[in-house]
């Protein structure tokens, strides 16, 4: 894991956007795994800016979203379909047929999940997976106790996740869907690169467990310790419970020095 600690949220999203931009310039037909939630919003804003101001071209990109609620229509204002449309898709030139999201209205969820996995494989696998982290260490909607080898499937959301997401449903916890379709931990682990973003003190404990704790299904993000190419981008508050923060800063400073940046 490469741990990068930055003074502010804006700094961390600009580094994340730069990593995506470099990957896209190297491989125009990049396959991106996308996350929702408040954390990646600044990253999408930065990518939209690069598209509009620098002509960053997404016309050959394919995207797969991590997760979606079950039980609300795609057009619901808090669905992840709506989120992606509003925050990213309508502002860049990714062809509609290249955008994949879990279908919360599928008649047969099991069959849909198998088709989703097959579509990822057909696209050649995910090159860069964007990730946020839940307060209890979930990635996607893989709640604590998720199998570390799990594939795309339906999950039941924990009370903590329902509480965290209630503000998107008018503050009413009973309005938050209790089920979601999510890529599995095993699916995420097959991405060639993972970019995990976290900001704010509410993520400090989950980040400390994921980065420095034991690898355990209790903290699904901790399995990223086994991933060969994961970058963890943090602001000071999200990094505040890390024991080795000084060392991570030193490693990153040395990297920049070696790269002459």
Q: What character string, x for contact with ligand GLP (CB under 6 A) and - otherwise, covers 151-190?
A: ----------x---x-------------------------
Specify whether the CB–CB gap between 43 and 78 falls below 8 A.
no
Check binding of 141 to ligand GLP (CB under 6 A). Answer: yes
Using CA atoms, how far apart are residues 44 and 64, in angstroms rounded to an integer?
Answer: 15
Specify whether the CB–CB gap between 152 and 187 falls below 8 A.
yes
The residue count for the chain = 261
Interface with ligand GLP in residues 32-61 (CB under 6 A): 35-39
Among 102, 134, 137, 177, binds ligand GLP (CB under 6 A): 134
Using DSSP's 3-state secondary structure scheme, residue 140 falls into: coil
Give the binding range for ligand GLP (CB under 6 A) out of 4-12, 102-110, 112-120, 130-138: 130-138
DSSP 8-state class, residue 157: P
Angstrom distances, CA of residue 171 to CA of 47, 74, 152, 238: 30, 20, 28, 24
Q: How far is the CB of 14 from ligand GLP (least distance, A)?
A: 17
Check binding of 66 to ligand GLP (CB under 6 A). Answer: yes
DSSP 8-state class, residue 230: E
Interface with ligand GLP in residues 202-231 (CB under 6 A): none
- Which residues of this chain interact with ligand GLP, rule CB under 6 A? 35-39, 66-67, 132-134, 140-141, 161, 165
């Amino acid at each position: 894991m490469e741990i990068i600690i930055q003074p502010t949220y804006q700094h961390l999203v600009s580094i994340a956007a730069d990593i995506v931009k470099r990957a896209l310039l190297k491989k125009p037909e990049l396959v991106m795994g996308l996350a929702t939630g408040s954390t990646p919003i600044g990253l999408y804003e930065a990518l939209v800016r690069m598209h509009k101001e620098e002509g960053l071209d997404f016309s050959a990109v394919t995207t797969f979203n991590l997760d979606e609620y079950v039980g609300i229509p795609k057009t619901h204002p808090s669905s992840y379909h709506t989120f992606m449309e509003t925050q990213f898709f309508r502002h860049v030139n990714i062809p509609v047929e290249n955008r994949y999201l879990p279908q919360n209205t599928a008649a047969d969820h099991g069959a849909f999940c198998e088709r989703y996995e097959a579509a990822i494989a057909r696209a050649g696998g995910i090159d860069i997976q964007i990730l946020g982290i839940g307060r209890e260490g979930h990635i996607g909607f893989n709640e604590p106790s998720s199998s570390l080898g799990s594939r795309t499937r339906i999950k039941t959301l924990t009370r903590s996740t329902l509480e965290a997401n209630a503000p998107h449903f008018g503050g009413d916890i009973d309005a938050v869907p209790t089920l979601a379709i999510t890529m599995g931990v095993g699916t995420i682990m097959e991405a060639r690169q993972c970019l995990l973003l976290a900001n704010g003190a509410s993520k400090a404990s989950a980040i400390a467990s994921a980065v420095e704790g034991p690898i355990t299904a209790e903290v699904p993000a901790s399995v990223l310790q086994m991933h060969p190419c994961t970058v963890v981008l943090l602001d000071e508050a999200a990094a505040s419970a890390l024991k080795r923060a000084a060392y991570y800063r030193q490693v990153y400073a040395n990297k920049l020095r070696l790269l002459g940046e």
